[in-house]
Structure 1
Amino acid sequence: MRILSWNIQWGRGADGRVDLERTLAAIRAAGEFDLICLQEVACNFPGLPGGAREDEPAFFARAFPRHEAAFVAALDVPDGEGGRARFGNLVLSSLPLGQLLRHQLPSPADPAVPSMSRACLEAMVLTAAGWMRVMTTHLEYYSVRQREAQAGALRALQLEAALLAARPPAKGKESSPAFAAHPRPASAVLCGDFNCEPGSPAYALLQQPMPGG
Structure 2
Amino acid sequence: MKPLHIFVAIGLIGVPVLHAQQQLQLKMGDVNVKDPAVEVQKTPNFQAGDVKSKNVPNPRDWLEIEVEFEVKGPRDTVVKDLLFRYYVGFRDTTGSPRVLSGDVKHINVVTGESTYSVAYVPPSTLGEITGDFRRFQPNAVEAVGVEVYYNGVIVGGVSTKGGKFWESVSPQQNTVLGKADTPFALLWIDRYAEVDKGGR
Higher helix proportion: 1
Higher strand proportion: 2
> What TM-score does the superposition give when structure 2 sets the normalisation length?
0.27
> What TM-score does the superposition give when structure 1 sets the normalisation length?
0.26
Question: Which one has the largest radius of gyration?
Answer: 2
Q: Which has the higher contact order (CA 8 A, sep 6+)?
A: 2
